[in-house]
Amino acid sequence: MAKKQTAGRDNLGNFAPKFAELNDDVLFGEVWSREKELNLRDRSMITVSALITKGAFTQLPAHMKLAKEHGITKDEIVEVITQLAFYVGWPNAWSAFNIAKDIWTD
C-alpha cells in the first residue's frame, strides 16, 4: 500500500499550496494508490524510466529510493538504465547510473 505522501506540503505548502495539495492528494494519493490496476513496483519502474527519459535528474533520486523500497533490485535498475540508454541517450544513462549507484550501494 502506498504510504501517505507529504513532500508537496513539506516543501511547497506555504509557497504553492494548491500544487502541494495536487502532488500529495491526487498524484500520490489517488493515482499511486490504484494498486489493483498497477502495482507500486511497476509504477516506480515506469516513473523512473520517464524521469530518465526526460532528464529530470533532480526528481530522480527520490523516485529511485521509492523504486528500491518497492522491490526493484540493483540488477533490474541496471538493466532498465542500460535499455534506456539506446533510446533516450547515453548521457542520460550515465547521469542515471551515477544516481542509482548511490542508492543501490549499501
Is 77 buried (19+), middle (13-18) or exposed (0-12) by CB count in 10 A?
buried
Using one digit for the tens of pLDDT, what is the confidence trace for 45-104? 999 999 999 999 999 999 999 999 999 999 999 999 999 999 999 999 999 999 999 999
pTM for this structure? 0.89
pLDDT of 28 strictly over 90:
no
